[in-house]
Amino acid sequence: MATKRKSDLLAEVLKAVLEDSADIDGVAIVGIDGLVYSANVPNRDMDEDIVGAAGAAILGLSNRGVQQMKRGNFARTLIQGDDGNIIVANLDQETLFVSLTPKNVNLGMVFAEVRDAAARIREIL
């Protein structure tokens, strides 16, 4: 049996996150430079490259804010908009996990799902 490529394994994890979660409706694994490694985002005129670029920008600002305010190492950030949320979580020094949710969700549950998904992704990376 052939070994699966890393990109296939990442895509499978993202698909599973969306299937298992009632609250997450878009996900992406992105390099700190904004390059999208794998993504599964809603088809509402959303471009994966925009998700990657925005995620990297959010990471940069969050990292800088955490450092300047002496809050330790960056773990994750939440941005709430009128129509939903963006959660950006650190995977490692070079990679981040972006999650998109509708507006009225149980954020505690979403954070737990993001934490679990990030752990599965780290095993592959």
Sequential pLDDT tens for the chain (125 residues)? 567 898 899 999 999 999 999 999 999 999 999 999 999 987 667 788 999 999 999 999 999 999 999 999 889 999 999 999 999 999 998 999 999 999 999 999 999 999 999 999 999 98
pLDDT of residue 110: 95
Q: Which residue has the tokens 């979660």?
A: 21
Query: Cα separation of 67 and 82, whole Å?
Result: 28
8-124 CATH, one of 3.40.50.150, 3.50.50.60, 3.90.420.10, 3.30.450.30: 3.30.450.30
pLDDT of residue 125: 87
For the chain, the domains span 8-124
Assess contact for 88 and 58: CB atoms under 8 A.
Answer: yes
pLDDT of residue 46: 79
Is the model's pTM score more than 0.85?
A: yes
